[in-house]
Amino acid sequence: MPASHHVGITVADLDRAVEFYSDTFDFEVLSRFSVSGAAFETGVGVPDAAAQFAHLDAGEIRLELVAYEPTGDDAAAAAVNDTGAKHVGLEVDDIDAFYAGLDDAVETISEPQTTASGTTICFVEDPEGNLIEVLEP
């Protein structure tokens, strides 16, 4: 069975994304680096590709934020129930305290709600519209 390594999110503004995840979730930046060259272009399937990366410590997994050159088309923000929609799920100890402490600039989809399974969830968006499910089991 493969081991988990990271969840990757392509962003337009790497500094803004790093700041959001560091400030909102207290993720520590593990590394920042650039990648380019023929092997990278072939590996990602994008001619002339180069990218700036930031790896953040997200607890049991690494969050990889990537800003590509050349940039691709903006993906339309998907509703959580759209086929192919993606989200990152992040567990917190106290969702009400987390929600109350959110910066006013953070876009929220919902206030914390306790589901039939007993898990309390809320959805927020990062600055680029990526969905994040915050949950307290």
The secondary structure of the chain, three-state, reads CCCCCEEEEECCCHHHHHHHHHHHHCCEEEEEEEEECHHHHHHHCCCCCEEEEEEEECCCCEEEEEEEECCCCCCCCCCCCCCCCCEEEEECCCHHHHHHCCCCCCEECCCCEECCCCCEEEEEECCCCCEEEEEEC
Say what the pLDDT of residue 73 is. 76
Q: Which long-range contacts (CB under 8 A, 24 or more apart) does 73-79 make?
A: 74/12, 77/125, 77/129, 78/131
Answer yes or no: is 82 within a domain. Answer: no
Quote the tokens at residue 26.
Answer: 């207290």
Say what the pLDDT of residue 3 is. 80
Quote the tokens at residue 16.
Answer: 């803004």
Considering the domain architecture, whether residues 15 and 61 belong to the same structural domain is answered as: yes
Cα–Cα distance list, 112 to 33, 122, 137 (Å): 36, 5, 12
Say what the pLDDT of residue 35 is. 95
Final residue in a domain of this structure, among 69, 97, 123: 69
Considering the domain architecture, whether residues 54 and 92 belong to the same structural domain is answered as: no
In order along the chain (137 residues), what is the average pLDDT of each group of 10 residues? 88 95 97 95 92 95 93 75 85 95 93 94 92 93
Answer yes or no: is 77 within a domain. Answer: no
**What domain range is 107 assigned to?**
87-136
Q: State how many domains the chain has.
A: 2
Say what the pLDDT of residue 38 is. 93
d(CA 51, CA 61): 21
The model's pTM is 0.89
The distance in angstroms from the start CA to the end CA of the chain is 26
Say what the pLDDT of residue 71 is. 80
Q: How many CB atoms within 10 Å of residue 28?
A: 10
Considering the domain architecture, whether residues 53 and 91 belong to the same structural domain is answered as: no
